[in-house]
Structure 1
Amino acid sequence: MIFHLGELFCGPGGIGWGATHADIGNEEFGIVHQWANDLDESTCRTYTRNICPNEPESVYCEDVHTLDIEKLGAIDALAFGFPCNDFSLVGSKLGFKGKYGPLYTYGIEVLKMYRPMWFLAENVGGLRSANEGKAFDKILSDMKDAGYRIYPNLYKFEEYGIPQARHRIIIVGIRDDLPFEFKIPAPTGEMKTCRQAIEEPPIPADAYNNEPTKQSAQVVRRLNLIGPGQNAWDVDLPEDLKINTKTRISTIYKRLDPEKPSYTVTGSGGGGTHIYHWAEPRALTNRERARLQTFPDDYVFEGSKEQVRKQIGMAVPCEGAKLIFEAILKTFAGIEYDAVEPNIVDEE
């Protein structure tokens, strides 16, 4: 069966790419784009260019609060990486009281209206503990009430060959009148380093979104005193190079360890948060960041340099999404695959 996928909060297309490239070796099972929605204009241009260049009208660049979901059209599957700002471990932790907390409910509305056969929902690992766990319990309850059996799991993407320590709650739901039981795909056992991701093969000289980063003389001096895998707090910096902040976030001016996966790629933040090369005294380019998120080099991001940074940081790793979508397709095709018991606790 070919599943027609709708997406809310589609972002630049990490989920969309993973879905449309999912391949289980059986042409009768696949996923195709049907429609998508996001609020940000440059993000929508990125999604359209890379996922559905011949169907720009299928991408609705609108605020989900006022989006007419009746016009979207029937779908077999839904994906929604609902905005995670208020569920993140970094930030205000407002949960349901915040501006973004209730946005998952628009996904619930689509599930109730179109009754797709399955869905995939994604959020940060901090979702599990938001509002003392009440937010997560409420979300799962609403998904069940919409008519779905649900399979939540905390995926540690570095355990699946993604060159980045990125931990995300992903909830797969299967409509409860269908006889299929999803299983959590087992980690691949492969570990890919950030050096491998960025250097093998080398990024083409004419690659898009690979503009060199510009560092001040002070930042260059600071980075030259920080070793691979270290941050600004790990070394005794001279007074004029010290960071004067009340909170000591571990990723401030942190340089990558070339023999490990990257730390989590983020989409925003000021000085010291851009992810720093292990050997060169500079921040990564957007294309290097995209490689850590497993976007292919021909994936073109639209917008300004900071808009592109935000898009890349908020995306789901393409290859990570692909792996989970392939497990869903195998579930419906009756193909066995290595599986593990679900886990929703981040011990780190």
Structure 2
Amino acid sequence: MNEYEYKLGELFCGPGGMALGAHLAAEDVPDVRIQHEWASDYDQSTVDTYVHNIPGASIGSVPVEDVRTLDVSRLGDIDGFAFGFPCNDFSVVGEHRGLQGSYGPLFQYGINVLHQKQPKWFVAENVGGLTGANGGKAFQHILKEMQGAGYVPVVHKYKFEKYGVPQARHRIIVVGIRNDLAEDGITFEIPDSSLKEYVPETASQAITIPKIPEAAFNHEFTRQSAVVRQRLELIAPGENAFTADLPEHLRLNVKGARLSQIYKRLDPSKPAYTVTGSGGGGTHVYHWSEPRALTNRERARLQTFPDWFEFKGSKESVRKQIGMAVPPRGAKVIFKALFRSLQRIPYPSIEPNLTIPGVQA
């Protein structure tokens, strides 16, 4: 095994957006090789998708298990670790309970892996609302736990649309370098989004270029009701059900939601709004010219999954998998910078846009 061959482990792996991004990044950096070691998620269909698409993954290497009962000690040693711990309690859309919620404390299982396996590096992902949970104390606590496990964390709020992802998706990414490597002069720097390689892409470009074949994976169309079609026909691109001038019988009886994504149609000249795992009540993401929700393949395009990437499970399950995933193109940006850092290859960088009181940089 060469110095830059990394055995990767993952918790909360989802369908494989983070892993695919790591493999794509390795192809762009000389001498780097990513080897799947293990991953885990609690949902069977999600794991089926991961195993079907990620190189080296198998039924035996990706246990379907609740992280609270997963025996990490029986999993293999790793050089790198990725975890996008559940964001339900940190999202600005939810109740924002942070560490006091049901999902917030699950980050600790990632910390346990750092203590037990001591990988050379880690990449952790969560929603932008993470920094405000519990008055900012939740994220401060999480970073201190990462430091306590023996790592130097570098935190940044990435706006992925600035890195060529055709979607306004803002995520907190923490990259950690193990202390001994940091003391040897290895530091992670935030990649500069102004580089020419990061070409802006609109929603219409992502979905139509090239045209999606009719027989493409996960390209089933939703059967829209007559009322939904009538409503969408009166909503202009970029508008939603509350900003459009709808007749009384097509209006939604919900207050205070003018900035909502409910029945919001894409603006074809801009990146899409954030694709989520929800889908009921008009949140599927809607086409800019046709009165319909996007297909899962179209949603996957906005999330930068290649067309060969086949999602497993029911249509509803696939929709959730796509919405909860890390965009592979966004993950590639992070991993490419990380791999260059580990090889001490200089690259254009910027200062982190987040500082956390009480936490050492």
TM-score (norm 2): 0.93
Deviation >2 Å, runs of 4+: 23-27, 52-56
Shift of 1:29: 1.6
Superposition RMSD in Å: 1.3
Q: Distance in 2 between matches of 1:39 and 1:65?
A: 10
1:53-64 map, 5 Å: 55-64=58-67
1:1-348 map, 5 Å: 1-23=4-26, 25-52=28-55, 55-178=58-181, 179=184, 180-187=186-193, 188=195, 190-248=199-257, 250-344=260-354
Q: Distance in 1 between matches of 2:120 and 2:306?
A: 29
Contact 2:164/2:200 (CA < 8 Å) preserved in 1? yes
User: Which secondary structure does the structure 1 equivalent of 2:180 belong to?
Assistant: coil
AA aligned to 2:47 is C
Shift of 1:275: 0.5
Shift of 1:305: 0.6
1:153–1:26 CA distance, 2 compared to 1 (3 A): closer
Q: Identity over aligned residues, as a percent?
A: 59
User: Which secondary structure does the structure 2 equivalent of 1:61 belong to?
Assistant: coil
User: Which secondary structure does the structure 1 equivalent of 2:306 belong to?
Assistant: coil
Q: Distance in 1 between matches of 2:173 and 2:309?
A: 24
AA aligned to 2:337 is A
AA aligned to 2:325 is A
Contact 1:24/1:329 (CA < 8 Å) preserved in 2? no
Shift of 1:246: 3.2
Shift of 1:156: 0.2
String of CA shifts for 1:39-84, please: whole Å, max 9, x gaps.
0010000000001466321001100000000011100010000000
String of CA shifts for 1:269-290, please: whole Å, max 9, x gaps.
4121110000000000000000
Contact 1:30/1:329 (CA < 8 Å) preserved in 2? no
String of CA shifts for 1:169-196, please: whole Å, max 9, x gaps.
0000000111210000111452100011
Q: Distance in 2 between matches of 1:51 and 1:102?
A: 28
String of CA shifts for 1:284-323, please: whole Å, max 9, x gaps.
0000000000000010101111100000000000111011
Q: Distance in 1 between matches of 2:316 and 2:27?
A: 36
TM-score (norm 1): 0.97
Q: Distance in 2 between matches of 1:166 and 1:25?
A: 24
Q: Distance in 1 between matches of 2:33 and 2:333?
A: 13
Q: Distance in 2 between matches of 1:9 and 1:54?
A: 15
AA aligned to 1:314 is M
Structure 2 alignment gaps of length 5 or more: 356-361
Partner of 2:359: none
Shift of 1:23: 3.2
* Between 131-140 and 329-338, the greater mean CA deviation after superposition: 329-338
Structure 1 alignment gaps of length 5 or more: none
Residue-pair matches, total: 345
